[in-house]
Structure formats: C-alpha cells, structure tokens
Structure 1
Amino acid sequence: MDTTTVNVVTTDSNQAFTDNKKQPVYKLKPAVDIPVTAVGSGWSMYAFTKIYSKDPSTVEDINSLRKEDINGFDRWAADVYSPKAANTSDFFFYGSMPLPLLLLADKHIRQDAGKIGLMYLEAMSVTGLLYTGATYSTDRYRPLAYNPEVPMSERTSGGAKNSFFAGHVALVGTASFFTAKVFSDYHPDSKLRFLFYGAAIVATGGTAYLRHMGGKHFPSDLLLGTAVGTLSGILVPQFHKTKLFKDPNLTLLPYTTGQSHGLVMNYRFK
C-alpha cells in the first residue's frame, strides 16, 4: 500500500540533513515534468490548428449581434478598433518568447540552463493547455465582431470567435514573469529583481492594452489572460524550488521511495 508521511528531523550544525549552501535553487522531477510538458505542448499544437481554422460566421450571424447583449463590464470594448494596435501587439508577443535567454548572461543561472529551459517549456505548455482548451471549447465573438466600422470579412472570419481568453497576454505574462521569477530566485537580494518584475508588468500590461485597442478581447478576457500568464510564470519555478522557506536553517524537501512519498522537514540548530 502506498503511504504518505511527513517526517520532522532536527539536527545540530555538524549533522545537518541538508547543506543549504550547496543546495540547488531548483529541483526537477523528470517523471512528472516531462509528461506534463509533453502533454501540454502536444495538446497546444493540436488545438492551435483547430482554433484558427474555425468555420466562418455568416453575414446574417454578425448582423444579429447586439452590443446590448454584452455584459455591462465588457460592453464598452465593442466600440474600440485599431488595426495598428493589434499589429503592434504581435511584436510584444513574438519579442517576449525568447526573454528567458537573457538569464544566460548570468553565470550562475547559465550553469542550470538545461533545467531552466525545461521549466520554461513546462510553464509555456501549462499556459498553452489552458488557453487552447478554453478557446477550443468556447466560441466568444471578439469585440470587433460587434463593430460596424470593422470590415465584414474580418468580422465573419473564424478567428473572430476566439475572444475567450487573451492568449497573447497569457503567453507574454508567462515568459516575462518566468524570467523575473527565476532571476529573483537566484538573486533574492539583488535590486535588479525589481527591474525584471517591472519589465514583466509593463510587457504584460502593454500587451493587454494593445489587444484591447485592437478590438481583439473584452476586459474580462484580458484579466483572465493576465492572471493565467502571471501565475504560470511564477508558480512553475516556485513549485520546483528545493528550499521553500526563507529561513536558511529550515528546509522542506520532497522524497519518494516508490512505496511511500512525502516531505522531510529539517531544522538546523546553530
């Protein structure tokens, strides 16, 4: 029978269960990380081909849309449309994807390049899974579909039903906040971590604004995309940390023997 246990171990400074100074920042679990990444990536690639090849709407369908049917929180977005803003948001999107490469400039992080790379793929696959799953199963017209100033060909396109939720924003948030989180975990006392987080906020918020101005998403879509991207970018690295507490004398590590699994807590008395 499988069992789950929690063991508490106390040691003196000469018999510490874990040497915190030598402990890596992150620890991977290939048996979990590789399948999660593979499934998320595989589904995302499949679903992307589906959500961007949805059947177009008829002119009659589009003409039957009424702004009054949109909830009050989102309704005002149906009057906004800027093709330039939508195109600019693509630069934010594609420009953010390689952001974690900036971390390679740091020699300490560079030593864990393979580990960081897999974690990034995992974070992106989680976001991709959530985004494509929502968009694949939900047809929500974009704000531009309600706007008579928008060319009918764009309003009737299958992609005009991909408003829920904001994929550009979610993926930019994942890439930028992942970069900030990893740098902060390696350099928790560096003031540069505020610069990284500030840049992540600007990149994600800027993308959300441009997608709104482009008539691509309603505010609720943008808020959800921001939340998904931010949480994925931060939590995936957090779940891989080997040291879950800021107290250098206190560590909490997972363990498994095949028959049992759990956590070992260690406190080193000075």
Structure 2
Amino acid sequence: MPAYQEVQPYEWYQVFDLPAPELYTIDRGAIENWNPEIAKNSDYVLGGLMLLPFASLASQEVQEQAGTYLFMYGEVLVSTGLITAAIKGWTERARPYVYNNTVPLEERISQSSMRSFVSGHTALAFGAASFMSTTYMDLHPDDPFRWVVLAGTFGAAGLVGYMRVESGQHFPTDVIAGAAIGTAIGWAIPALHREARYRGIRWNAGWNQFRLVWDF
C-alpha cells in the first residue's frame, strides 16, 4: 500500500443524510466540537515542539555527534509521517466535524475530511517529545532536570492532542493512537542506534555523507 493515497470525501448532498456513526463512548462528544482557531494554534504548538530537539545542539554532548543526532531525528519524523499517512489512507475515517451540521459545507466535503485516524499532529508531537526526552536521558543520565525535560515535552505533546480534539479535527481515539505511535517511534529509533553501537555497528552522518562501519 502506498504511504499516501487519495481518499474520496462525501459528496455535498450526502453529508446532510449521514447516519449517526457507531462510536466508542469516549468519542461521542467530539462531534460537537468545532474551533478553527484552536486548530490553527495546534499547528503553532506542534511546530515549536518539533523545533525543540534542535535546542539540544547547544549541548556539548550532542555537538560531538550532531550528525547522528539529526539523522535519528529525521528518521523519527519520516517514519512517523509515513506510518500515519498509510493508516489514514487505509482506514478512511471521517473527521468529527463531518457529522456536525454547524460546520461549513466546504469543510465537511474537503479532501482531508476522511483522514481522521490516526492524528498525524499528535503522532509527530509525541514522536518529537519521545525522541528528545529519550536522547536527553541517554546523554545526561545524572541530570536532575531530565524529568523536567520529559514532563515538559510530553506535556506539550499532550496539549497538541487535546487541541486536536477540541478543534473538532479528531476523535479522542485518533489522538490516543497517534500518541502511542509517536511515542514508540521516538523511543525505538534511538534504542536501535544504541543497540547497533553495542554490537559494534557504527554510522556517521553529516550534511553530505553517510558512513556505516561494522567492527568484527
């Protein structure tokens, strides 16, 4: 299956006669949500969170392996984006606002209206949070502020998820699934690199080169 595929939204005349969807109890209230301003602000929070790992480049420990650090972060973002895009195309779940008659028609029949599951914003937010907290703890295992980094990054990621629900863009289950995917990828990528180093596999990444070495 391609990572991204076109999903056909409802026709304009169909949205007025949509049957009530079968939803989990936790999802039912999301249909009433609609706030484009919160949706826009969630973009800003996500953008800030995705830039936050670059602040670690000020650390001497990160500067000594900046190429690998940036390469890993790139892997996290690309993997998260591809996986969430594939799931969205496969599930074709309508967003909450599709069932909300107070929402403008053009929104309810837009191309993105059928890409609710999973929340890409939340997955990327938790991917960035998980990556930064994991690498920070690896590089600063004795820093008493490492828990502040963990709480702060995951708190910001949680805010993104909350805003996606409140804005009417996603159901809570979309956000929960996105958070799980992002957290897993953000932790797994550094863990795989750590395991590779343990087995004698080393890779060095730079702006214009990539080298893989296996020490026997």
TM class by shorter chain equals: 0.7 to 0.9
Equivalent in the alignment of 1:254: 199
Partners of 2:79 and 2:43 lie apart in 1 by 21
Equivalent in the alignment of 1:179: 132
Larger radius of gyration: 1
Aligned 1:71-220 pairs, distance under 5 A: 71-220=24-173
Q: Structure 2: which 5+ runs fail to align?
A: 202-215
Equivalent in the alignment of 1:59: 12
Identity of aligned residues (%): 31
Over 4 Å off, 4+ runs? none
Shift of 1:242: 4.9
Match status 1:231 vs 2:176: no
* TM-score, scaled to structure 1: 0.69
Q: Given that residues 49 and 153 in structure 2 are in contact (C-alpha distance below 8 angstroms), is that contact kept between their aligned partners in structure 1?
A: no
Q: Given that residues 123 and 181 in structure 2 are in contact (C-alpha distance below 8 angstroms), is that contact kept between their aligned partners in structure 1?
A: yes
Equivalent in the alignment of 1:26: none
Shift of 1:85: 0.9
Partners of 2:91 and 2:25 lie apart in 1 by 20
Larger displacement relative to structure 2 (72-81 or 101-110): 72-81
How many residue pairs get aligned? The number is 201
Shift of 1:179: 1.1
Q: Given that residues 67 and 78 in structure 1 are in contact (C-alpha distance below 8 angstroms), is that contact kept between their aligned partners in structure 2?
A: no
Amino acid across the alignment from 2:198: L
SS at match of 2:123: helix
Shift of 1:180: 1.3
Amino acid across the alignment from 2:78: S
Cα deviation digits, residues 131-173 of structure 1 (max 9, x gap) = 0110122211100111111111101111111101000000011
Partners of 2:19 and 2:142 lie apart in 1 by 53
Q: Given that residues 89 and 210 in structure 1 are in contact (C-alpha distance below 8 angstroms), is that contact kept between their aligned partners in structure 2?
A: yes
Structure with greater strand percent? 1
Q: Given that residues 67 and 75 in structure 1 are in contact (C-alpha distance below 8 angstroms), is that contact kept between their aligned partners in structure 2?
A: no
Q: Given that residues 130 and 186 in structure 2 are in contact (C-alpha distance below 8 angstroms), is that contact kept between their aligned partners in structure 1?
A: yes
Partners of 2:127 and 2:21 lie apart in 1 by 34
From 186, 190, 194, the equivalent of 1:241 is 194
Partners of 2:143 and 2:109 lie apart in 1 by 50
* TM-score, scaled to structure 2: 0.86
Equivalent in the alignment of 1:70: 23
Q: Given that residues 49 and 157 in structure 2 are in contact (C-alpha distance below 8 angstroms), is that contact kept between their aligned partners in structure 1?
A: no
SS at match of 1:69: coil
